[in-house]
Structure 1
Amino acid sequence: MAGVMPCKMSSRAQARSRRLHISSRARVATRLSISKVGLPIGPSRQASFGVCCLLVPCSYYTLCLGRFVETWGGHPQANPSQPQCPNWRYGFLQPTFECHSACAYWQTNSDVGSEGSMWKKLLCTAAMVFASASHADDVWLVTSLEWPPFSGKNLPEGGAGIAVLRAALATQGVKLKVEFYPWTRALITAENPRYAGVYPTWPEDVGVGFTSSAVLFTSPVGFVEPKSAPLRWSRLEDLAGKKIGVVQDYGNTPEFMRLVNNKTIRTEPVVDDLTNVRKVAGGRIDAAFIDLNNLAYYLKFDAQNVAHKVQANAKVIGSKDLVLAINRNFANRDASATLSRGLAKIDSDRIIKDYMRQNFK
């Protein structure tokens, strides 16, 4: 290629090259077609990237022999007429199993016999192992809250909703790690670029700096009320003058929040739904906005001692979508598409039904 001056390998470089081996004293040089893989290396479609991996016993260092722009044969001396090693660089990377390119398009430029063919296959196999290890180590860190049965530190699998997210990501080779916090802290913590986002959340709760994923599941919302004083309403405006419990920073529904903001409905915020259930049971508030599956869980378990005092209001406000609020600064810019592909491969409703049947008979 014009502008590239051939250079001869020094005796020291030749000696170093001879020492490179994978399990035996053999050298492999490979060619990766950039045009096929689409790596943003340079404008020339003939640009190539040479990679040679050295496995050192008892450690995992990858030795990358840098970019070169002319084809290099399977062995340094396989084609003496070609320029050798123009402008190549090398450097040690951090200990890692990551392979920085796919191996599907490894090619050698010259026929180096059965030995070269064998080593090409071995290198492809090694590259696939590296790629698989790197892919398997892809981990998404998300924040969540104590919101049974969908999420909770002490719930099996972290909750039914967490099980859906984990199953979807698993189809894409992504592992899930969840940290549980009070809701407001979960929102703030998820702003850190290390986090993929916060989950589960209603679309109304997806704030600045986040974007909504596809819907993972849905759940009905309504009011928890005292059995002795049930709410009578046909429209939310009929609740004017009532004191309704809410959880701080919950988005609830747009219509409900409109009435809250114009002071039609009075609210009293708390840090979690369980507190609201107990306040309703104690007669401290008239009712509380709550997810009805969340309420059913509390009345069966955590708030069993007040289950005889409270109930779900007969009228359901509506069904709410649950999504992952994806951090826009998360390193994986393809996070939304990755999750969507995963969701297309699972049945989230079936996962939740099976989870509830197996864990909360």
Structure 2
Amino acid sequence: MKHSLLWIITVTLLTLTGQSVGAEVWRIASGSWPPYSSPNIENGGIAVAALRRSLKIVGVQLDIEYMPWPRAKLLAKRPEFDGYFPAWPEEVEEGFAASKPVAMSQIGVIRNQNPLEWSSASNLFKRYKVGFVRTYDYPVDLQALFEKHQEQADANENERELSRTLAAGRIDAAVTDPNVLLHTAKELGLTGLVAEKRILYRKPLVVALTQKDGYKRKLALLNQALPLMTLQQLYCCPLLTD
């Protein structure tokens, strides 16, 4: 009788603290990409928090491991991982399956204190030196501009390097998610960086699930719990060209 009572008390306490006995756990590799994902932000970042809420609906606990983005995509191939997050659809590599959108990010233009005059993305590259992050899989239109304007396109290893390069005036503009670069600049104590009002793309952030045994069930389970994104949320502000 005492053992039964102790078991009931234990289960009750676990329930009250938001834990479940024998709950399914998904181990996801993640890059530190604040404010969307970061171990230094409350709830792990806004995209991670959204994913955690959705998985909780279907009784799944989320175990996030933060690391550099290239390493996250590499380690996610190991059997102990279930995938990587947050990824743009272009970043879902072979051997992985993309979920429905978990949250939305964007790609825009950030400048330093010197104003920019540009009418399109291609016009921007013709007139200015533009930085980007080499480890990102940008939309194909932007990738084509990086290739076409190699003398004007400046590749950086990560957002921290890109922020410093822009603040130092070694480039005129940066193409990335403005929220991420400005958040990173603030962490580094850099000032004077401004996001242009025009947004080039709104980009869904998806989970790249490893295609191992049982992944189809997991994909269906996650997609069932994810919020429905409207067309306006998914598609906005197509890349302008001359």
TM-score range relative to shorter protein: 0.7 to 0.9
Q: Does 1:311 align with 2:194?
A: yes
How far is the alpha carbon of 1:219 from its aligned partner? 2.2
Distance 2:116 2:92 in 1: 30
Report 1 or 2 for greater relative contact order, CA contacts < 8 Å, sequence distance ≥ 6.
2
* Number of residue pairs aligned between Structure 1 and Structure 2: 210
Secondary structure at the aligned position of 1:215 is classed as coil
Aligned AA (2:118):
W
Distance 2:71 2:222 in 1: 24
Distance 2:175 2:149 in 1: 16
Specify whether residues 279 and 264 from structure 1 end up closer, same or farther in structure 2 by C-alpha distance, changes over 3 A only. closer
- What 5-or-longer segments of structure 1 have no aligned partner? 1-22, 24-131, 347-361
Q: Which of 224, 231, 246 is residue 116 of structure 2 equivalent to?
A: 231
Give the alignment of 1:1-361 within 5 angstroms. Answer: 133-134=21-22, 136=23, 138-228=24-114, 230-238=115-123, 239-240=125-126, 242-263=128-149, 266-299=152-185, 301-303=186-188, 305-307=189-191, 309-329=192-212, 331-344=214-227
Secondary structure at the aligned position of 1:195 is classed as coil
Distance 1:306 1:195 in 2: 36
Two-structure CA RMSD over aligned residues (Å): 2.3
Distance 1:265 1:288 in 2: 15
Asked if the contact 1:197–1:210 (Cα under 8 Å) also holds between the matched residues in 2, the reply is: yes
Specify whether residues 244 and 334 from structure 1 end up closer, same or farther in structure 2 by C-alpha distance, changes over 3 A only. same
Q: Which runs of 4+ in 1 moved over 3 A?
A: 262-266, 330-333
Secondary structure at the aligned position of 1:333 is classed as helix
Asked if the contact 1:215–1:323 (Cα under 8 Å) also holds between the matched residues in 2, the reply is: yes
Higher strand share: 2
Aligned AA (2:69):
W
Deviations 1:3-41 (A, max 9, x none): xxxxxxxxxxxxxxxxxxxx9xxxxxxxxxxxxxxxxxx
Specify whether residues 210 and 265 from structure 1 end up closer, same or farther in structure 2 by C-alpha distance, changes over 3 A only. farther
How far is the alpha carbon of 1:241 from its aligned partner? 6.1
Secondary structure at the aligned position of 2:33 is classed as coil
Distance 2:213 2:39 in 1: 23
Normalised to the residue count of structure 1, the TM-score between the two structures is: 0.54
Report sequence identity in percent: 31
Aligned AA (1:306):
L
Matched with 2:16 is none
Distance 1:245 1:345 in 2: 33
How far is the alpha carbon of 1:144 from its aligned partner? 0.7
Distance 2:163 2:32 in 1: 14
Specify whether residues 186 and 269 from structure 1 end up closer, same or farther in structure 2 by C-alpha distance, changes over 3 A only. farther
How far is the alpha carbon of 1:265 from its aligned partner? 6.9
How far is the alpha carbon of 1:216 from its aligned partner? 0.8
- What 5-or-longer segments of structure 2 have no aligned partner? 2-19, 230-242
Secondary structure at the aligned position of 1:207 is classed as coil
Distance 2:196 2:213 in 1: 40
How far is the alpha carbon of 1:186 from its aligned partner? 1.0
Larger Rg: 1
How far is the alpha carbon of 1:227 from its aligned partner? 1.2
Deviations 1:50-105 (A, max 9, x none): xxxxxxxxxxxxxxxxxxxxxxxxxxxxxxxxxxxxxxxxxxxxxxxxxxxxxxxx
Distance 2:134 2:79 in 1: 24
Specify whether residues 261 and 216 from structure 1 end up closer, same or farther in structure 2 by C-alpha distance, changes over 3 A only. same
